[in-house]
Amino acid sequence: KTRIAVFCSGGGSNFKSIYRSIAEKPLNAEIVLCLSNRSQCGAMEFAHEQGIATVHITEKQFDSFDEFADAMVTRLKDAQIDVVLLAGYMRKVPDAVVRAFPERMLNIHPALLPKFGGEGMYGIHVHSAVIAAGEKESGATVHFVNEEYDKGKILLQRAVPVLQGDTPEILAARVLACEHQLYPDALEKLLAEQRS
């Protein structure tokens, strides 16, 4: 079975949808680790409930950024992780960690990349920017993670309409519902590609 680690910072609704889809489909994969920069959040709570191992790790716990990055790699190697899924992880992953998982680390972004990505574009800020730009559609993107923030090769993308009167919160909810379908589909695609 492909051993998966999910990285989260918040509610973890994408983590939950991936977890459920693995339980329902014969994906031959297993989420074995939840890593977070927050000791308490919806994602970590869910991991505890499901008996999934958790790692709470932040830069502040270490003397240097390099030590932090090395510790992250070590934890992932110790858990024999094959694939890393960033699911609402609101930190940039250290380059050393990205390099340890070439073509095996995915992120979900709540917009149609390459538009509305990059520094400062996360969570609700993305949806505010999409509405302010007068876009007619937004959506979600699952892409490979490389050392350039939000710039890795796109694996799967799906659009949703931006409707008259949308607030960032309303649009966020529509995009999130789309993400819950898209991320499991993207994982399935990745696993199929890895096996072929």
The residues annotated with a catalytic role in the active site are 109
Contact with ligand GAR (CB under 6 A) among 55, 81, 176, 187: 176
**Among candidates 67, 69, 98, which has minimal Cα distance to 84?**
98
Cα separation, 21 vs 146, in Å, equals: 26
- Pick the closer one to ligand GAR by CB: 29 or 127: 127
Find out whether 53 and 35 touch, Cβ atoms under 8 Å.
no
What residues contact residue 121 under an 8 Å CB cut-off, 6+ apart?
109, 111, 129, 150
- Pick the closer one to ligand GAR by CB: 37 or 70: 37
Q: What is the DSSP letter of 158?
A: E
In this structure, how many other beta carbons lie within 10 angstroms of the beta carbon of residue 150? Answer: 20
Question: CB nearest ligand GAR: which residue?
Answer: 88
Site residues for ligand GAR, window 28-87 (CB under 6 A)?
87
- Pick the closer one to ligand GAR by CB: 81 or 174: 174
Q: Using the rule CB under 6 A, is 101 a contact of ligand GAR?
A: no
| Residues at the interface with ligand GAR (CB under 6 A) | 8, 10-14, 87-88, 108-110, 122-123, 176, 179
Which residues make up each annotated binding site?
12-14, 107
